[in-house]
Structures are given as C-alpha cells and as structure tokens.
Amino acid sequence: MSLRKQVILFGASLGGENFIKHNSQVDVIAFTDNDSSRWGTTLAGRPIISPLNIAQHDFDEVIITSQWQDSIKNQLINELSIPAEKVVIPNKTYLKPAIKPFTHAATLAFAQQSLGIISEFLAKHGIYAMVDSGTALGIVRDGDLIPWDDDIDFAINAKNFDKAVELTAQLLAALPQIPEAHWVATVITLAGEDVCINLDLESNDHDTIKDIEISLQKRTERNGRSELDSSAGIFDAPAVHFQTPQPIKYCGYTVYLPDEVESFLTFMYGDWRSPQPNTSLQDYDNRYQQTKADPRSQQVTKRKIQRVKN
C-alpha cells in the first residue's frame, strides 16, 4: 500500500499535468472535471471522472488545478459534501517547475528579444499589445522580467484580437529561432470564441535554453471594465488602463504599458512595490470570487497554428 498521499486533481488541464510532473511526492489517482465530454477518458494515464463520483474513491485530498478555484471549492464543499480540510488550493509553484526560466541568462535574453519582436511586429500591423499582469509589474518595478516569474503576459483589445489570430503564423516566423528549441502556437477558444494565443518555446536542451511561455490574452470592454475573456468572469480591471497604450523602450524595443500603469498595478497587486515570490490565485484580491462557475469555463477547446514558411 502506498504511503504517499492519494489525491484527485480537479481540472483535467495543463495545470493538472504540470502538477503531476513536478509533484512526485503524491500519488495522483484520478482527474475530475466539470466538462462532461471528458468523463471516461484519460489524461497523463489517469482516468477523468465526474465530480459526482469523487466520493466513490479513497483519497486524502482533492487538489484544485483549475483557474476557477473559488467556484470549484464551493462546489466541492457545499454541493458534493467533501470535507473542507480535504480541499486544497496549491501555491503556483506546485503547478510550475521550480527552476524559473528568467533566472537563466541565455533564456532571459531570448525572452527579452521575443517580447520586443512580438510587440513591434503587432504594432506594425496596427495592433498595440500591452504587457499585462506580472510582465507589466516586472518592467515597471524592476525594469525587466521578474526572475521568479514563469511566463510573459500580453493583452490585446477585442477589436484587434481576430486580426492577431490571423497574423499568428507570420508572427511565429518572425520570432527568434534557436536549434535547441522550437515554437508552438496554440489558440484557446472559450465557448466558441477565440480568447488567447499561446506561444510556447519548447526546448530539447534545457542546459542551453529553458522553455518559455508567452500568452496574448483577449480583453473586452464591458460597462467600464476591461475583462480578461479567458478567465470567464474572474478577472477584470478598470477599462481606462487598456484604452490608450503607453509606449516605452525595453531592451531596445518599443513595448506598450497599460495607461496609468501604477494605478493598474495597485489594483492588481495592492502593495506592488514589495516583491512577493510565492503567490497563488487566492492572493489576487481583485478577482471575482465566483460561487458558481461561468458555463463558458466548461467549453474550452484548442487548435494549433503552423508557422508560415519563409
């Protein structure tokens, strides 16, 4: 009999796969997910079960690896009667590798170049992608990407997002290339609407260069708020921050910050001038704490985009 904790992961997603990859100290016996089309299939060699069947299993914890943590926690405790002490929301570090890419000098330089090229490529086509979230925080506070961050965040306003998707194949070809890695582009769709472009550098030699994750997220203005569409209702910000991109120079490139950026960072992070290396989604006080999941969160699809050949 295994002495390791027996856990079920709520969220049959990349976050769940990453948790398995980086947490061998626990025994993941199953995934569960609210998407009924996934039930009866497998992910990472584990079955995906209905949340209604969780109680049929012998487990120590249900660990939430989905971004819709508040509504799932409420569902587990108040609808499925899972004891609160068995419901765990992990720190972000449990879902990502311990070695951060921007602490690796060659990877940091490659990421800086990639960030700048993306910004200038899109601007050339009339799309002003603003650095968002932790990327904006690092550039404003530290003048660079945060060493313990693990990705690069851009925001693209809704009116330009479909055009950005159309340009992704060309953007892939414009990005810097290296023999030890290759770029993969994925479009994330929520309830039939394209909401995110992921550009992932996948390395086959991690001594030479680490993996890099870049997301270009769609933002839609509604009732004076700029909503991050991929979050299905969790994250928004005052719309004023995303109406007028503010150009700055970063590593020799022109990149764009949200307007009134310090006010935006205060909204996002509170005391943003004090570095906080260990955070989880629960630390974002500005998130909308859903008690019921937005139905769109159960309608996620992905498609790959191939690089155009030069």
- For residue 247, what is the domain's CATH number? 3.30.460
Write the Ramachandran bin of 11: left for phi over 0, alpha for psi from -120 to 50, otherwise beta.
Answer: left
- 111 and 178 inside one domain: yes
C-alpha 8/C-alpha 28 separation (Å) is: 6
- 267 and 120 inside one domain: yes
Question: What does DSSP say about strands 5-10 and 61-64: parallel, antiparallel, or unpaired?
Answer: parallel
How many domains does the chain contain in total?
A: 2
pLDDT in tens, 88-103: 988 766 666 556 899 9
Mean pLDDT of 52-69: 91
For the cut 90, the answer to whether the pLDDT of residue 197 exceeds it is yes
Mean pLDDT of 228-241: 84
Q: Is 310 a domain residue?
A: no
Tell me which residue range forms the domain holding 277.
101-305
Quick one: angle between helices 158-174 and 105-124, nearest 10? 130
Higher pLDDT, 152 or 89: 152
- 114 and 165 inside one domain: yes
Please give the model's pTM, rounded to 2 decimal places. Answer: 0.79
